[in-house]
Amino acid sequence: MAEPAALRRTPAIPATPGVRLLPPAARFILRADRHTLGIAGNVLGIGAAPGSCRASQAGMRAALWLGPDEYLLLAPEAEAPGLATALEQALQGEPHSLVDVSHRQTALEMSGSRAAEILSSGCPLDLDVTAFPIGMCTRTVFAKAEIVLWRTAGDTFRLEVWRSFTDYVARFLDEVVREY
């Protein structure tokens, strides 16, 4: 059974320049076709469905494309109950699966002029802005931990990490940053 949000332990991460733990968020995995995602996008206020390996964002809400029919929906934690209800009502009658995974993940932000270079130390992707542009997102690995990586700005990345791997990923980043 999932731990209630009020009882979840906030992962302790090293004080690493350029790395910060992001606030808790509402996270949903939506399995649906693009039409149904468009309906969910209207509820989120983001409009059209994102393209392959892309994120659509409006304010603090986002939809990240993770696969042909799989999307990670993000919103501020306080919006989780109302958003879940609104999504369930809007998607009623549409073929879909909507699962709240808020308890499963945490988010780290890596920023700075060398962010892509530092992340490349544990990630097999080409993170040059020409190969991994702003708005691109994908499921990948970072130092043996599965993550969702999203470039939110030219020198800023969001890493969605399973809660049990947050400490490992943060400490790996800390070691790499110290080498720079």
What was the pLDDT predicted at 8?
57
Round the average pLDDT of the chain to a whole number and report it.
91
Domains of the chain: 17-179 (3.30.1360.120)
What was the pLDDT predicted at 1?
46
Q: Which among 131, 138, 106, 84 has a CA at the least distance from the CA of 19?
A: 106
**79 C-beta neighbours (distance < 10 Å), count:** 15
Burial-class residue 149 by CB neighbours within 10 Å (0-12, 13-18, 19+).
buried
What was the pLDDT predicted at 5?
53
Q: Which among 29, 46, 75, 50 has a CA at the least distance from the CA of 137?
A: 50
Per-residue pLDDT tens for 6-42?
555 667 777 788 999 999 999 999 999 989 999 999 9
Per-residue pLDDT tens for 44-60?
999 776 789 999 999 99
- Specify the 3-state DSSP secondary structure of 77: helix
Q: Token pair for residue 148?
A: 């969702």
Q: Which residue has the higher pLDDT, 5 or 135?
A: 135
Q: Which among 131, 143, 132, 135 has a CA at the least distance from the CA of 171?
A: 143
